[in-house]
Amino acid sequence: MIGAARSDSVRGGGRAAGGPAILRDVTLRDGLQLTGKVLPTERKLEMVRELLALGVPELEIGSMARPDLVPPMANTLELVSALTPEELRRCWVWVATPRHVAKAAAAGVRNFQYCFSVSDAHNKANIGRTTEDSLAAMPEAVRLAQEAGGRIQLCLATAFTCPFDGPVDPERVLAIARDPRADGSADIVLADTLGQAHPGQVAALVSAVAAGGHWGTPEHRIVFHGHDTWGMGVANSLAAIAAGAGVVDGALGGLGGCPFAPGASGNTSSEDLLFATRPGWFTPHALAALVRMSEHLLNELGEPNRSRAAEGSRSKAEAFEWVIRTPE
Protein backbone atom coordinates (compact mmCIF):
# COMPACT_ATOMS: atom_id res chain seq x y z
CA MET A 1 0.00 0.00 0.00
CA ILE A 2 1.02 3.62 -0.41
CA GLY A 3 2.32 4.89 2.90
CA ALA A 4 1.44 7.88 5.03
CA ALA A 5 3.28 11.16 4.57
CA ARG A 6 6.41 11.63 6.63
CA SER A 7 8.66 14.62 7.04
CA ASP A 8 11.55 12.51 5.73
CA SER A 9 9.56 10.94 2.89
CA VAL A 10 11.97 12.12 0.21
CA ARG A 11 14.78 10.30 2.04
CA GLY A 12 13.22 6.84 2.25
CA GLY A 13 10.30 4.60 1.48
CA GLY A 14 12.07 1.94 -0.55
CA ARG A 15 10.28 -1.37 -0.82
CA ALA A 16 13.44 -3.36 -0.25
CA ALA A 17 13.45 -2.38 3.40
CA GLY A 18 9.87 -3.50 3.77
CA GLY A 19 8.44 0.01 3.79
CA PRO A 20 5.35 0.99 1.83
CA ALA A 21 5.46 2.76 -1.52
CA ILE A 22 4.40 6.40 -1.61
CA LEU A 23 2.53 8.65 -4.04
CA ARG A 24 4.12 11.59 -5.81
CA ASP A 25 1.52 13.89 -7.33
CA VAL A 26 2.75 15.36 -10.64
CA THR A 27 -0.26 17.54 -11.48
CA LEU A 28 1.70 20.78 -11.52
CA ARG A 29 4.30 19.50 -14.00
CA ASP A 30 3.33 16.54 -16.13
CA GLY A 31 -0.34 17.25 -15.52
CA LEU A 32 -0.27 20.85 -16.71
CA GLN A 33 2.32 20.73 -19.48
CA LEU A 34 -0.04 19.57 -22.23
CA THR A 35 -2.84 22.02 -21.42
CA GLY A 36 -1.22 25.07 -23.02
CA LYS A 37 -2.50 27.26 -20.20
CA VAL A 38 -0.42 28.98 -17.53
CA LEU A 39 -1.83 28.83 -14.01
CA PRO A 40 -0.94 31.94 -11.98
CA THR A 41 1.84 31.41 -9.45
CA GLU A 42 -0.55 32.14 -6.59
CA ARG A 43 -2.89 29.39 -7.80
CA LYS A 44 -0.05 26.87 -8.04
CA LEU A 45 1.14 27.86 -4.57
CA GLU A 46 -2.34 27.29 -3.18
CA MET A 47 -2.45 23.82 -4.73
CA VAL A 48 0.99 22.84 -3.43
CA ARG A 49 0.04 23.77 0.10
CA GLU A 50 -3.37 22.08 -0.07
CA LEU A 51 -1.85 18.83 -1.35
CA LEU A 52 0.93 18.81 1.24
CA ALA A 53 -1.52 19.64 4.04
CA LEU A 54 -3.77 16.73 3.04
CA GLY A 55 -0.83 14.33 3.40
CA VAL A 56 0.43 13.80 -0.15
CA PRO A 57 4.07 12.86 0.56
CA GLU A 58 5.79 14.30 -2.51
CA LEU A 59 4.97 16.59 -5.43
CA GLU A 60 6.43 17.40 -8.82
CA ILE A 61 5.84 21.13 -9.13
CA GLY A 62 7.40 22.32 -12.36
CA SER A 63 9.97 22.12 -15.11
CA MET A 64 12.95 23.99 -16.47
CA ALA A 65 11.77 23.34 -20.03
CA ARG A 66 11.85 26.35 -22.33
CA PRO A 67 8.70 28.41 -21.72
CA ASP A 68 8.24 29.05 -25.44
CA LEU A 69 7.97 25.29 -25.94
CA VAL A 70 6.07 24.41 -22.74
CA PRO A 71 4.26 27.61 -21.67
CA PRO A 72 2.53 26.18 -18.55
CA MET A 73 5.97 25.78 -16.94
CA ALA A 74 6.98 29.43 -17.44
CA ASN A 75 6.48 30.44 -13.80
CA THR A 76 8.15 27.42 -12.18
CA LEU A 77 10.94 29.42 -10.53
CA GLU A 78 8.45 32.01 -9.26
CA LEU A 79 6.62 29.17 -7.53
CA VAL A 80 9.89 27.82 -6.11
CA SER A 81 10.78 31.21 -4.65
CA ALA A 82 7.39 31.39 -2.91
CA LEU A 83 7.82 28.05 -1.12
CA THR A 84 9.63 27.49 2.15
CA PRO A 85 12.73 25.26 2.37
CA GLU A 86 10.67 22.70 4.30
CA GLU A 87 8.01 22.66 1.58
CA LEU A 88 10.67 22.36 -1.11
CA ARG A 89 12.06 19.26 0.61
CA ARG A 90 8.93 17.44 -0.59
CA CYS A 91 8.92 18.93 -4.10
CA TRP A 92 10.69 17.90 -7.32
CA VAL A 93 11.49 19.93 -10.45
CA TRP A 94 12.11 18.46 -13.92
CA VAL A 95 15.51 19.23 -15.49
CA ALA A 96 17.25 18.00 -18.64
CA THR A 97 20.71 19.62 -18.58
CA PRO A 98 23.38 20.65 -16.07
CA ARG A 99 22.50 24.25 -16.86
CA HIS A 100 18.92 23.55 -15.76
CA VAL A 101 20.24 22.16 -12.48
CA ALA A 102 22.42 25.21 -11.82
CA LYS A 103 19.59 27.65 -12.55
CA ALA A 104 17.06 25.73 -10.47
CA ALA A 105 19.50 25.32 -7.57
CA ALA A 106 20.14 29.06 -7.51
CA ALA A 107 16.39 29.57 -7.07
CA GLY A 108 16.19 27.16 -4.13
CA VAL A 109 15.35 23.80 -5.72
CA ARG A 110 16.92 20.85 -3.91
CA ASN A 111 15.20 17.86 -5.57
CA PHE A 112 16.00 17.55 -9.28
CA GLN A 113 14.49 15.05 -11.71
CA TYR A 114 17.06 14.72 -14.52
CA CYS A 115 15.09 13.30 -17.40
CA PHE A 116 15.95 11.92 -20.80
CA SER A 117 14.46 9.28 -23.08
CA VAL A 118 15.70 5.74 -23.56
CA SER A 119 14.93 6.06 -27.28
CA ASP A 120 17.03 8.49 -29.31
CA ALA A 121 14.11 9.54 -31.49
CA HIS A 122 12.03 10.74 -28.56
CA ASN A 123 15.00 12.31 -26.78
CA LYS A 124 15.77 14.35 -29.90
CA ALA A 125 12.13 15.45 -30.15
CA ASN A 126 11.81 16.20 -26.43
CA ILE A 127 15.25 17.55 -25.49
CA GLY A 128 17.06 18.07 -28.77
CA ARG A 129 19.94 15.64 -28.24
CA THR A 130 20.74 11.96 -28.34
CA THR A 131 20.29 9.67 -25.35
CA GLU A 132 24.07 9.27 -25.15
CA ASP A 133 24.54 13.05 -25.02
CA SER A 134 22.10 13.31 -22.10
CA LEU A 135 23.74 10.45 -20.24
CA ALA A 136 27.22 11.89 -20.83
CA ALA A 137 26.11 15.17 -19.22
CA MET A 138 24.68 13.50 -16.14
CA PRO A 139 27.84 13.45 -13.98
CA GLU A 140 27.99 17.23 -14.20
CA ALA A 141 24.31 17.48 -13.30
CA VAL A 142 24.90 15.18 -10.30
CA ARG A 143 27.85 17.28 -9.17
CA LEU A 144 25.88 20.52 -9.33
CA ALA A 145 22.94 19.01 -7.44
CA GLN A 146 25.18 17.65 -4.72
CA GLU A 147 27.09 20.92 -4.39
CA ALA A 148 23.74 22.61 -3.75
CA GLY A 149 23.01 20.10 -0.98
CA GLY A 150 20.32 18.48 -3.10
CA ARG A 151 19.35 15.14 -4.64
CA ILE A 152 18.92 14.17 -8.26
CA GLN A 153 16.88 11.41 -9.86
CA LEU A 154 17.67 9.57 -13.07
CA CYS A 155 14.38 9.70 -14.99
CA LEU A 156 14.04 7.45 -18.04
CA ALA A 157 11.21 8.43 -20.36
CA THR A 158 9.98 5.96 -23.00
CA ALA A 159 11.22 3.07 -20.86
CA PHE A 160 8.68 0.74 -22.50
CA THR A 161 7.67 2.16 -25.90
CA CYS A 162 8.60 5.11 -28.11
CA PRO A 163 6.06 6.99 -30.26
CA PHE A 164 8.53 7.00 -33.17
CA ASP A 165 10.51 3.75 -32.84
CA GLY A 166 7.97 1.43 -31.18
CA PRO A 167 8.90 -1.09 -28.46
CA VAL A 168 12.01 -0.33 -26.42
CA ASP A 169 14.45 -3.14 -25.66
CA PRO A 170 14.54 -3.65 -21.87
CA GLU A 171 18.30 -4.26 -22.14
CA ARG A 172 18.70 -0.65 -23.25
CA VAL A 173 16.98 0.47 -20.03
CA LEU A 174 19.13 -1.84 -17.92
CA ALA A 175 22.32 -0.62 -19.60
CA ILE A 176 21.51 2.97 -18.63
CA ALA A 177 20.47 1.97 -15.11
CA ARG A 178 23.83 0.24 -14.63
CA ASP A 179 25.97 2.88 -16.36
CA PRO A 180 28.52 4.37 -13.92
CA ARG A 181 27.70 7.84 -15.24
CA ALA A 182 24.38 7.53 -13.40
CA ASP A 183 26.14 6.99 -10.09
CA GLY A 184 25.14 9.59 -7.57
CA SER A 185 21.48 9.45 -8.56
CA ALA A 186 19.14 9.18 -5.61
CA ASP A 187 16.41 7.31 -7.47
CA ILE A 188 15.58 5.91 -10.89
CA VAL A 189 12.26 6.76 -12.56
CA LEU A 190 10.84 4.31 -15.12
CA ALA A 191 8.28 6.12 -17.25
CA ASP A 192 5.59 4.46 -19.33
CA THR A 193 5.36 7.69 -21.33
CA LEU A 194 2.71 6.47 -23.75
CA GLY A 195 0.73 4.30 -21.35
CA GLN A 196 1.14 1.27 -23.62
CA ALA A 197 2.78 -1.10 -21.13
CA HIS A 198 0.92 -3.92 -19.41
CA PRO A 199 1.40 -5.19 -15.82
CA GLY A 200 3.60 -8.13 -16.83
CA GLN A 201 6.01 -5.81 -18.65
CA VAL A 202 6.11 -3.37 -15.77
CA ALA A 203 6.74 -6.04 -13.17
CA ALA A 204 9.48 -7.60 -15.29
CA LEU A 205 11.33 -4.34 -15.89
CA VAL A 206 11.09 -3.13 -12.30
CA SER A 207 12.28 -6.52 -11.06
CA ALA A 208 15.19 -6.51 -13.51
CA VAL A 209 16.27 -3.02 -12.50
CA ALA A 210 16.08 -4.01 -8.83
CA ALA A 211 18.00 -7.25 -9.38
CA GLY A 212 21.35 -5.50 -9.48
CA GLY A 213 21.01 -4.62 -5.80
CA HIS A 214 21.60 -0.87 -6.22
CA TRP A 215 18.11 0.29 -7.11
CA GLY A 216 15.06 -0.52 -5.00
CA THR A 217 16.52 0.44 -1.62
CA PRO A 218 15.46 3.30 0.69
CA GLU A 219 18.48 5.30 -0.48
CA HIS A 220 17.97 4.57 -4.20
CA ARG A 221 14.29 4.13 -4.87
CA ILE A 222 12.61 2.90 -8.02
CA VAL A 223 9.83 5.26 -9.13
CA PHE A 224 7.14 4.17 -11.59
CA HIS A 225 5.58 6.90 -13.71
CA GLY A 226 2.52 5.58 -15.52
CA HIS A 227 -0.03 6.90 -17.98
CA ASP A 228 -3.56 5.56 -18.39
CA THR A 229 -3.85 5.67 -22.19
CA TRP A 230 -4.87 2.01 -22.43
CA GLY A 231 -6.58 1.83 -19.06
CA MET A 232 -3.66 0.11 -17.33
CA GLY A 233 -2.46 3.00 -15.15
CA VAL A 234 -3.53 1.64 -11.76
CA ALA A 235 -2.81 -2.00 -12.65
CA ASN A 236 0.68 -1.09 -13.86
CA SER A 237 1.37 0.96 -10.74
CA LEU A 238 0.30 -1.89 -8.46
CA ALA A 239 2.49 -4.28 -10.47
CA ALA A 240 5.42 -1.88 -10.07
CA ILE A 241 4.90 -1.66 -6.30
CA ALA A 242 4.73 -5.44 -5.98
CA ALA A 243 7.97 -5.73 -7.96
CA GLY A 244 9.87 -3.27 -5.78
CA ALA A 245 8.95 0.31 -6.73
CA GLY A 246 9.05 2.67 -3.75
CA VAL A 247 7.16 5.55 -5.41
CA VAL A 248 4.38 5.84 -8.00
CA ASP A 249 3.36 8.99 -9.84
CA GLY A 250 -0.17 10.28 -10.41
CA ALA A 251 -2.02 13.46 -11.33
CA LEU A 252 -5.36 14.84 -10.20
CA GLY A 253 -8.15 13.74 -12.50
CA GLY A 254 -5.69 11.87 -14.72
CA LEU A 255 -4.57 15.20 -16.20
CA GLY A 256 -1.56 15.38 -18.46
CA GLY A 257 0.58 13.92 -21.20
CA CYS A 258 3.78 14.69 -23.08
CA PRO A 259 3.62 17.43 -25.76
CA PHE A 260 6.43 15.71 -27.66
CA ALA A 261 4.98 12.19 -27.62
CA PRO A 262 2.13 11.65 -30.11
CA GLY A 263 -0.46 9.33 -28.59
CA ALA A 264 0.34 10.09 -24.96
CA SER A 265 -2.71 10.83 -22.85
CA GLY A 266 -3.28 11.59 -19.18
CA ASN A 267 -1.31 10.40 -16.20
CA THR A 268 -2.65 7.74 -13.89
CA SER A 269 -5.15 9.47 -11.62
CA SER A 270 -3.88 10.28 -8.13
CA GLU A 271 -7.38 9.70 -6.76
CA ASP A 272 -7.53 6.24 -8.37
CA LEU A 273 -4.09 5.25 -7.06
CA LEU A 274 -4.96 6.38 -3.55
CA PHE A 275 -8.34 4.65 -3.58
CA ALA A 276 -6.69 1.42 -4.73
CA THR A 277 -3.94 1.47 -2.10
CA ARG A 278 -5.54 3.20 0.92
CA PRO A 279 -2.63 4.89 2.76
CA GLY A 280 -3.30 5.70 6.39
CA TRP A 281 -3.76 9.43 5.77
CA PHE A 282 -6.23 8.87 2.92
CA THR A 283 -9.68 9.16 4.48
CA PRO A 284 -13.07 9.79 2.85
CA HIS A 285 -12.61 13.43 3.87
CA ALA A 286 -9.24 13.53 2.06
CA LEU A 287 -10.77 11.97 -1.07
CA ALA A 288 -13.57 14.54 -1.04
CA ALA A 289 -11.03 17.35 -0.74
CA LEU A 290 -8.94 15.96 -3.61
CA VAL A 291 -12.01 15.49 -5.82
CA ARG A 292 -13.14 19.07 -5.23
CA MET A 293 -9.62 20.36 -5.85
CA SER A 294 -9.42 18.32 -9.05
CA GLU A 295 -12.85 19.41 -10.31
CA HIS A 296 -12.02 23.06 -9.68
CA LEU A 297 -8.71 22.79 -11.55
CA LEU A 298 -10.11 20.86 -14.50
CA ASN A 299 -12.97 23.32 -14.86
CA GLU A 300 -10.44 26.16 -14.94
CA LEU A 301 -8.46 24.40 -17.64
CA GLY A 302 -11.41 23.09 -19.65
CA GLU A 303 -10.08 19.54 -19.33
CA PRO A 304 -12.04 16.29 -18.77
CA ASN A 305 -11.88 14.40 -15.49
CA ARG A 306 -10.55 10.88 -16.18
CA SER A 307 -10.58 9.65 -12.58
CA ARG A 308 -12.90 6.72 -12.00
CA ALA A 309 -12.62 7.17 -8.22
CA ALA A 310 -13.78 10.78 -8.59
CA GLU A 311 -16.69 9.58 -10.69
CA GLY A 312 -17.55 6.96 -8.10
CA SER A 313 -17.39 9.49 -5.29
CA ARG A 314 -20.17 11.45 -6.99
CA SER A 315 -22.48 8.43 -7.30
CA LYS A 316 -25.76 7.93 -5.44
CA ALA A 317 -24.53 4.94 -3.45
CA GLU A 318 -24.76 6.91 -0.23
CA ALA A 319 -24.35 3.90 2.04
CA PHE A 320 -20.69 3.74 0.91
CA GLU A 321 -18.48 5.92 3.11
CA TRP A 322 -16.35 7.11 0.18
CA VAL A 323 -19.30 8.76 -1.61
CA ILE A 324 -19.36 12.55 -1.14
CA ARG A 325 -22.58 13.35 0.70
CA THR A 326 -21.88 16.72 2.28
CA PRO A 327 -23.32 19.86 0.63
CA GLU A 328 -20.98 21.81 -1.62
- Nearest by Cα to 227 from 201, 186, 256: 256
How far is it, in rounded angstroms, from Cα 324 to Cα 43? 24
Amino acid at 181: R
Q: Decide if 91 is catalytic.
A: no
Q: Are 301 and 35 spatial neighbours (Cβ–Cβ below 8 Å)?
A: yes
- Nearest by Cα to 118 from 73, 74, 171: 171
Query: Which three-class secondary structure string do you get for the chain?
Result: CECCCCCCHHHCCCHHHCCCEEEEECHHHHHCCCCCCCCCHHHHHHHHHHHHHHCCCEEEEEECCCCCCCHHHCCHHHHHHHCCHHHHCCEEEEECCHHHHHHHHHHCCCEEEEEEECCHHHHHHHCCCCHHHHHHCHHHHHHHHHHCCCEEEEEEECCCEECCCEECCHHHHHHHHCCHHHCCCCEEEEECCCCCCCHHHHHHHHHHHHHCCCCCCCCCCEEEECECCCCCHHHHHHHHHHHCCCEEEEEHHHCCCCCCCCCCCCECEHHHHHHHHCCCCCCHHHHHHHHHHHHHHHHHHCCCCCCHHHHHHCCCCCCCCCCCCCCC
Active site residues: 258
